[in-house]
A and B are shown apart, each in its own frame.
Chain A
Amino acid sequence: MTDTTTESAPPKAVGASKPKGIALNLFPPILFGSLVIGAWYFISYIMLAENRRFLLRPPDKVLTEGFLDWGGTGGMSEMLQSLWSSTKVAGIGLFFAILIGLFLAVLMSQAVSVEKALFPFLVTLQAVPILAVVPLISFWWGTGQTSRVVVCIIIALFPIIVNTLFGLQSAEKGMHDLFTLHHVNRITRLKKLMFPAALPALFAGLRISAGLSVVGAIVGDFFFGRGEVGLGQLIRRFSSRLEGEELLTSVILSAGLGVAVFLLFTWLQNKIIGKWSDRAGLV
C-alpha cells in the first residue's frame, strides 16, 4: 500500500511545474542553436571573402532562396516532391527491412544452429561498403526506384535483426521455466513470452533503422537516377551547379526527414511499451 502513496506524490509536483519544465528543456537547445547560427553568419560574412561565399551561404539566403522560393527548377515545390519521393523509398525500404529482419530474428531465435549458420553472413552483409555493391545492385535491379529500396533495406536491416534477436533471447530463465512447466508449445511461447519480451529491444533497433532508412533512401537516390527525383538526385544536381542555398536546404530537409522518422518510432515505442517498460519516456 505504501507504494502507491509514495508514487502518487511526484506527478503532482511535476504537473505544477510543467510550463517551467518545458522552458528549462527548451532553453539549452535554443541557446546552442543560436550560437550555431551566429557562428554560421560569422563564417559566411567575416571569414569568407565575397567571391568565396558560395562555400557557405548565410542562413537568411538559405531561408529566402532555399525555403521560401517556390517556383522553377530547384524551387521549394520541386524539393518537396523530392522529399516525398525519398520518404516513400525510406518507408518502403524500412517496411521490407522490418519484415525480413523480424523473420530472420525469429528464425534464429528458434534454433542455435540457424543462428550460427546465418549470423556470419549477416555480419558480412553489414560490413560490405554500400559503394562496393552499387554496381551489382544496378546490374540486378536497374537504376530506378527498386535499387534505391534495395540500398535502403541493406542499410536498415542489421540493427533490426540484432536487436530483435537480442530481445527474443532476453526473457528470464524463470519465465521460460514457468512456460515449460505448463507444457506450452513453441508458437505460444513465442507469442506470449519471447515476442513481448523482445519489444523494448525491437524498438531500440527500429529507432536506429528508421534513421538509417532515410540515409539509405538518399544514398540510393544519389547513385540511381532513373525515374522520380529524390533528395539524393537534387543534392547531386545542386552541388554540381554550386547552388549553395538549395544544397543546404535539401540537406536540412534530409535531416528533418531522419528526425521525423526517428520521432515517429519513439512515439510508437512510448505508446506501445511505455506503460510497462522502464524505457518509457525515452527520447
Chain B
Amino acid sequence: MADKESPALEFDDIGMIFPDGTETLQNISFSVDKGEFTTVVGPSGCGKSTLLKIASGLLEPTAGSVVVDRDRLGYVFQDATLLPWRTVLENVELLCELHGMGKSERRELAKASIDLVGLEGFQNHYPKSLSGGMKMRASLARTLTLKPPVFLFDEPFGAVDEITREHLNEETQQLFLQEGFAGLFITHSITEAVFMSTKVLVMSARPGNIVASFDIPFDYPRKPDLRFDAEFARISGEVSKELRGGHS
C-alpha cells in the first residue's frame, strides 16, 4: 500500500502489564493498511484479545501507543453479543441507532447488511431461535452497518463447528474483498489464518510478542479447496512450527 498514507491501524511498541503484575504483551509493533487482512495466531492466554482491546480503546496499554480512527471502528466479539430482546433486524440496527442515525436510514443499511451476510428471511427472528453460525452472521452484519475502515475480529468463529467455520471464513473473505477494510483477525486456527489473510503474525506465549511474520501469497478470491493445496500446507506447517516455538 502507498507509503505516503499513514496505515489504518498501527501498534507502536505496545506493552501491557495488568495491575496484578501479569505482563501480557511486550514490544508489539506492526501496522495494518487498508486492503490488508492480518491475522494474529498464538497460544491461549498470550494476550491476543488484549491486543484488540488495546486497539479499540477498551484497555489502555502500559507502554507504547496505537494509531487508529476509533469513530467507526468495527469490532466482532468472541460471542455474537446480540441483545436477546431485539430481533435480528433490530440488533443489526443497534450501532447506527447508538450513533444517532435516523430510523429509515439505519433500517435501510441494516437490511443491506443482512442481505450481505445471507440472513435475509430471518430479520424478524429473535436470537434464541438462531444457530451459533447465524448469530455470528448477524453480529457481522451489525458491524458492517457502520462501514468501518478498520475491522477487528476477536476469535469470532471459535465456538462454531468446523463446516460452519469454513463457510464463515469464505464469507468473511468475500466481505473483505467487497468492503476493502483493514482487517485484524485473532484466532487459534492456523488454517483459518492462512486461508483468509494477506499476512499471518505469530505471537509467543506470555508475555506475547510477535515472533514471526508470513506474507500469504495466494490470490483472492480464494476457493475452498485451496485448503488442500500443497503450498497452503507448507505455509501452514511453517506457521505451526513457529507457534510451537521453532520446534517441528
Contacts and interface: CB of A to CB of B under 8 A. Distances in A.
Q: Do these two chains really belong together in a complex?
A: yes
Interface of A: 2-4, 7, 172, 174-175, 177-182, 184, 188, 192-193, 196-197, 199, 273, 275-278
Interface string B65-85: 000000001010111010111
A273 B128 contact: no
B83 A196 contact: yes
B54 to A, nearest CB: 13
B126 interface: yes
B81 A180 contact: no
A175 to B, nearest CB: 5
Given A181-B57, A182-B98, A188-B98, A172 B81 contact: yes
Contacts of A181: 56-58, 73, 75
5 contacts: A177-B81, A181-B56, A181-B75, A192-B94, A276-B127
A275 B86 CA distance: 10
Given A180-B58, A276-B128, 14 more contacts: A3-B129, A172-B79, A175-B81, A177-B77, A178-B81, A179-B98, A181-B57, A181-B73, A182-B95, A196-B85, A197-B83, A199-B85, A273-B85, A277-B85
Nearest to A189: B98
A172 to B, nearest CB: 7
Given A181-B56, A182-B98, A278 B81 contact: no
Contacts of A188: 98
Contacts of B98: 179, 182, 184, 188, 192
Interface of B: 56-58, 73, 75, 77-79, 81, 83-86, 94-95, 97-99, 122, 126-131, 134
B58 A276 contact: no
Contacts of B85: 196-197, 199, 273, 276-277
A7 B128 CA distance: 12
Interface of B, secondary structure class, is loop
A34 B131 CA distance: 46
Nearest to A278: B128
Contacts of A174: 77-79, 81
Nearest to A182: B98
Contacts of A277: 84-85, 128
Contacts of A182: 95, 98-99
B81 A276 contact: no
B126 A178 contact: no
Contacts of B129: 3-4, 7
A79 to B, nearest CB: 42
A3 B134 contact: yes
Among B57, B73, B83, B131: residue with most chain A CB under 10 A: B83
Given A178-B75, A184-B98, A3 B83 contact: no
B77 A178 contact: yes
Nearest to B72: A182
A175 B58 contact: no
B139 to A, nearest CB: 10
A276 B86 CA distance: 8
Contacts of B128: 276-278
Nearest to B146: A182
Contacts of A3: 129-131, 134
B148 to A, nearest CB: 11
Given A3-B130, A182-B95, A275-B126, A177 B83 contact: no
A273 B83 CA distance: 13
Contacts of B131: 2-3
